[in-house]
Amino acid sequence: MNRAAVAIDQLGRTVLEYVEEMGKIALLFLSVLRWMFQPPLKSHLIFKQMEFVGNKSIFVVVLTGAFTGMVMALQGYYGFKMFSAESMVGSVVALGMTRELGPVLTSLMVTARAGSAMAAELGTMRVTEQIDALSVMAANPVKHLIVPRVIAGVLMLPLLTVVSDFMGILGGYFVGVHLLHINSGIFVKNITTIVDLDDLYNGLVKAAVFGLILSLIGCYKGFNTRGGAEGVGKATTEAVVLSSITILISDYFLTAIMF
């Protein structure tokens, strides 16, 4: 076989592997759905994960949100200044945060923080046979381990996004009004006229979808870890990469559908 053929063969295999992986993730999602509606729900496990995904991500989300808003205000200011439309800065920051940057950046941060942790945790449980132990004790691992994480992801991401949106707008307000001396009344008024409820809510729907994606992929990668400590590391990296890519790609399609 010549080199080209090998390359094509390799490409085909890679594509097939990805497709297979997507299929497996989809199947995992179905089984999560199935177990989600089988009582009893492990509420303490869910709350534990919600605390992990939500509360413990607040700091990083506040930080990224605020600074993103500030940077947007600064950049937008120089752009709008050319048209003497500095007062539009607020609406651009608000629209950008609610529609796009809030959900996406929050999800990426949570992926890095919690998605990777999910993969590492489940990966460790897999290689130390804790997942087998669960099965042996007639406790379904999907129900005990994955369902709480996915629920936490889907519920907490929108909330974190709300915080991120708010902090972003606050950051933009700070830079715009206090540093760049844009009239505060006009700044706020432009936000409220241009931003719609739909912008806000669609951003939150996006965030929920991203929460599903990152928790599902994190769990999938961890759950299917092979090969000891090295395997755990690999699973963690793959989870972050695959989640981030999937979030960005699905963001495009969600945006296309929603707006």
Partner 1 sequence: MFSISSEAKVGIFVLIGLIILAYMSFQVGQRGFGLKKGYSVDVFFNNVAGLERDASVQIAGVEIGRVESIALKDGKALVTLRIGKDIKLARDVKAAIKTHGILGDKYIELVPGKDEEIYIHEGGRIINVESQADLDRLLNQLAFIADDIKKVTGALSSVLAGDEGEASIKDILENSRQLTRNLNTVVKSNEATLRAVLENTRQLTENLNNVVTKNDEKMAQTIENLRGASEQMEKTFASLNDITESIKKGEGTAGRLIKDKDMAVKLDQAIDSLRDVTDKINQGKGTIGKLINDEETVNNLNEGLTGLSRYINKAEQFRTFLSYRGEYLFDSSEAKNYLDIKIQPKQDKFYIVGLVSDPQGKKTIRDTTVAGVTTRTEEWDRDGLLFNAQIGKRYKDIVIRGGLLESTGGVGLDYFALNDKLKFTFEAFDFSADEKTHLKAAAEYQLFKHLYLSFGWDDFISDKGQESPYAGISIRFEDDDLKYLLTTTPIPK
Partner 2 sequence: MIELIDIHKSFKKNKVLNGLNLKIDSGLITVIIGRSGGGKSVLLKHIIGLLKPDRGRVLIDDTDITRLNDRDLNTIRKKFGMLFQEAALFDSMTVKENVAFPLREHAKMSEVEISRVVAEKLKSVGLTGIEDKMPSELSGGMRKRVGLARAIALQPEIVLFDEPTTGLDPVMTEAINQLIVDTQKNLNATCVVISHDLESIFKISHKIAMLYDGDIIEYGTPDEIRASKNPVIEQFLSGSIEGPIKII
Chain residues binding partner 1 by CB under 8 A are 44, 47-48, 50-51, 54-55, 58, 83, 85, 159-160, 162-163, 165-166, 169, 191-193, 195-197, 199-200, 204
76, 89 Cβ separation under 8 angstroms: yes
Kindly state the smallest distance separating residue 166's Cβ from partner 1, in Å.
5
104: helix, strand or coil: helix
User: Distance (Å, rounded) from C-alpha 61 to C-alpha 143?
Assistant: 28
Name the residue nearer to partner 2 (CB basis): 94 or 131: 131
Name the residue nearer to partner 1 (CB basis): 163 or 232: 163
Long-range contacts of range 36-42, CB-CB < 8 Å, 24 or more positions apart? 36/147, 36/150, 36/151, 38/143, 41/147, 42/143, 42/144, 42/147, 42/148
Length of the chain: 259
Residue span binding partner 2 (CB under 8 A) among the ranges 5-13, 124-132, 201-209, 216-224 = 124-132
Name the residue nearer to partner 2 (CB basis): 129 or 230: 129
Indicate the DSSP class of residue 181.
-
Name the residue nearer to partner 2 (CB basis): 46 or 71: 46
Kindly give the interhelix angle for 197-223 and 116-127, rounded to the nearest 10 degrees.
20
Residue 83 main-chain phi, psi, to 5 deg: -110, 15
Token pair of 86, please?
Answer: 């500095």
Task: Give the one residue of 1, 4, 138, 257 binding partner 2; rule: CB under 8 A.
Answer: 138
Name the residue nearer to partner 1 (CB basis): 17 or 196: 196
> If contact means CB under 5 to 8 A according to the sort of partner, which of partner 1, partner 2, none does residue 62 touch?
none
Does 229 bind partner 2 (CB under 8 A)? Our answer is no
Place of tokens 């991500």: 57
User: Distance (Å, rounded) from C-alpha 209 to C-alpha 214?
Assistant: 9
Residue span binding partner 2 (CB under 8 A) among the ranges 81-89, 111-119, 120-128, 249-257 = 120-128
Task: Give the one residue of 135, 196, 201, 249 binding partner 2; rule: CB under 8 A.
Answer: 135
> If contact means CB under 5 to 8 A according to the sort of partner, which of partner 1, partner 2, none does residue 50 touch?
partner 1
Q: Return the amino acid letter for 125.
A: M
Name the residue nearer to partner 1 (CB basis): 32 or 167: 167
User: Distance (Å, rounded) from C-alpha 93 to C-alpha 153?
Assistant: 26
User: Distance (Å, rounded) from C-alpha 86 to C-alpha 76?
Assistant: 8
> If contact means CB under 5 to 8 A according to the sort of partner, which of partner 2, partner 1, none does residue 128 touch?
partner 2
